[in-house]
Amino acid sequence: MEGLAGYGWDAIAVAFGISLLAGISTGVGGLIVALKSTPSNTFLAGALGFSTGVMVYISLVEMLPEAAEEVGGPSAVAAFFAGVGLIALIDRLVPEEVNPHEEHVAASSPALARAGTMTGLAIALHNFPEGFASFMSALADPVLAAPIALAIAIHNVPEGVAVAAPLREATGKKWRAAGWATLSGLAEPAGALIGFLLLLPFLGPSTLGLAYAAVAGIMVFISFDKLLPSAIHTGHHHHCVYGVVGGMAVMAVSLLLLP
């Protein structure tokens, strides 16, 4: 049975489910805060580096070339940098003092509560295009989208920590703080659904090719603006580099093994 825009309902459900799982991984960060268990900086550096390697390799080696085959090289490149420009604009619209990817310190309880709330809103704004990226990737190729969703999920965990930690310290309500962290991640499935519905009247091979290239641009920007700096900030940049190379190697082998 065919669903929207000629896609089977099963394919749409799988794509949405992948986006949902990636988004709610912010709740894992909230859970870490609630349980007061913190992963080591070495692990974070390697995991975030691995996510960077996965997303950059897939974007440049698989997604962009596929888009170029569909719409031509110049159009694919233009769409790629349009995706970069879109996510960069969204990033610039978030004030630096509440941007979860900028360092800032809040000492008092009211300031901590405000920091947690505003960080949650900022993360939701950032997660919106990420949800669309994971959804469109899954719609085009669920097998290829699985590592993309995993990479997004890994980097969402520290974001959940960034939301929940100040709220827990300010209110003393650790499970409510974890709940807000989870809620901020739901912007990803919302972005998936809204983005798909907006594109629905225009969906076709060319539109999907352009969207695929734009998604590649979004993911490359996320990797270099969010994942890599966060990994390096742990102070274990060698583990970060090992993770990047490892992520690329895993994706290279998996793509070679794909039928």
User: pLDDT averaged over the chain?
Assistant: 76
Task: Give, for 209, the enclosing helix (H) or strand (E).
Answer: helix 205-222
Q: Which of 128, 125, 234, 113 minimizes the C-alpha distance to 164? A: 113
What digits encode the pLDDT tens for the residues 15-42? Answer: 888 888 878 888 887 787 777 666 677 8
**1 token code pair:** 């049975």
Q: Judge whether 201 lies within some domain.
A: yes
Q: Judge whether 119 lies within some domain.
A: yes
Q: Judge whether 2 lies within some domain.
A: no
Q: Judge whether 196 lies within some domain.
A: yes
Res. 80 pLDDT band, cuts 50 70 90: very high
Q: Judge whether 1 lies within some domain.
A: no
- Residues 206-220, mean pLDDT to the nearest whole number: 82
Binding-site members are 127, 130, 155-156, 159, 188
Mean pLDDT lowest for which of 103-117, 148-162, 169-183?
103-117
User: pTM for the complete prediction?
Assistant: 0.63
**Type of residue at 13:** A
- Residues 204-216, mean pLDDT to the nearest whole number: 79
- The boundaries of the domain holding residue 185 are 7-257
Residues in the chain, overall count? 259
Q: What distance in Å separates the CA atoms of residue 213 and residue 105, rounded to the nearest whole number?
A: 37
Q: Judge whether 207 lies within some domain.
A: yes
Question: At 8, is the secondary structure helix, strand, or coil?
Answer: strand
Binding-site members for Fe(2+) are 127, 130, 156, 159, 188
Q: Judge whether 125 lies within some domain.
A: yes
The total number of structural domains that make up the chain: 1
Binding-site members for Zn(2+) are 130, 155, 159
Residue scoring higher pLDDT (157 or 117): 157
